[in-house]
Chains A and B, each alone.
Chain A
Amino acid sequence: MYKAAVIGDSASVSGFAALGLSVFRETEPERIKKLLTRLAASEFAVIYITEPAAALVSDTINRYRSSRLPAIVLIPAIEGNTGEGMRALHDSVEKAVGSDILN
């Protein structure tokens, strides 16, 4: 059985604990990187990460883009939506189609 994790600042991710997800309150780039690598190697299939936290470790996240598991999904943090998650989607389209046709 696999699990789901949430990474981000405390205020943004605390609510997910109530749903039974594994919550990791981290804001340090180095620690998030280590955490991501550790979670990806263990039984976590889905990792939700807040947009500000993801911006700090984008290279680590990109490394897992082409592997089947885990799925790393960006979610808005408590400060608001930065649109980074949508941008990742546009990146996928650009990669596949050759140009961004979503706009």
Chain B
Amino acid sequence: MARLNVNPTRMELSKLKAKLVSARRGHKLLKDKRDELMRQFMLLIKENRQLRAEVEAAISEANRYMAVAGSVMQREVLETALMLPKQEVELEVGEKNVMSVLIPVFDPKYRTSDASDIYSYGTAFTSIDLDGAVKSLSEVFPKMIRLAEIEKACQLMADEIEKTRRRVNALEHIMIPDYEETIKFITMKLSENERSTTTSLMKVKDMVLKDKHHYEQ
């Protein structure tokens, strides 16, 4: 802990006292912010974890279908079947404010609402496994969007929590103790000055009395 490099004057003392008050208030607010962020983060992490497990399982299943489809069909035929999709997805990006962390919200908009439009090919020359792959992907897609949203939210909140935690610690362990120590130092110095003035006054008074009136104690 280091005392701040300031002059021990009343001016500095009152300035420091004001700073200490706002540092204490800031510390309390930031601590509350950190706790609330952490609570929200924990909820998100729980959902994120579950969602990721579900999405990974579904994509793995789709990949299995795809692997089978790739083995029974020629590579070129498979690629051609998927070359011109009927469906198209666009995302509307909104914003949500969680404890002043702006997290994106994705709202998917599909070009066609017909569910069967995910099959961009005729069924005559393609394997049924391809249908299975496309179907399971389309089923998991809303979850994938939610996963993207929530994963981003987790990353942004982790950043914010780290920042807030650093601020709280800096206030708690550096700034507030420094202010307190400096205030103590200035108070001591001022009262020391006061005592020294009193003593020298007394001394002078004694000398004057002795000089003028031959007064002895």
B36 contacts partner chain A, Cβ-Cβ < 8 Å: no
Q: Tell whether A56 is near chain B: CB-to-CB under 8 Å.
A: no
Please, how many residues of chain A have a CB less than 8 angstroms from a CB on the other chain? 41
In the bound complex, how far is the Cα of B159 from the Cα of A65, in angstroms? Answer: 9
Cα separation A80 to B59 with both chains bound (whole Å): 10
Q: Mark A62-94, 1 if CB is under 8 A from B, else 0.
A: 000110110101011110110001101100110
Q: Does B93 contact A (CB under 8 A)?
A: yes
With A18-B120, A20-B111, A93-B158 given, is the CB distance from A76 to B56 under 8 Å?
Answer: yes
Contact A18 B138, CB 8 Å, known A11-B70, A77-B63, A96-B41: yes
Cβ-based interface call for A38 (8 A): no
Taking the closest CB of chain A, its distance from the CB of B55, in whole angstroms, is 7
B contact residues around A88 at 8 Å (CB): 151
Contact A46 B48 (CB under 8 A): no
Taken together as a complex, chains A and B put the C-alpha atoms of A72 and B200 apart, in Å, by 75
Most buried by A among B91, B104, B152: B152
Please give the distance in Å from A83's CB to the nearest CB on chain B. Answer: 9
CB distance from B35 to the nearest CB of A (A): 12
Query: Which one of B78, B82, B106, B156 contacts A46 once the chains associate, using CB atoms below 8 Å?
Result: B106
Contact across chains for A66 and B156 when beta carbons are under 8 A apart? yes
Given A19-B138, A86-B52, the answer on whether A68 and B104 have CB atoms closer than 8 Å is: yes
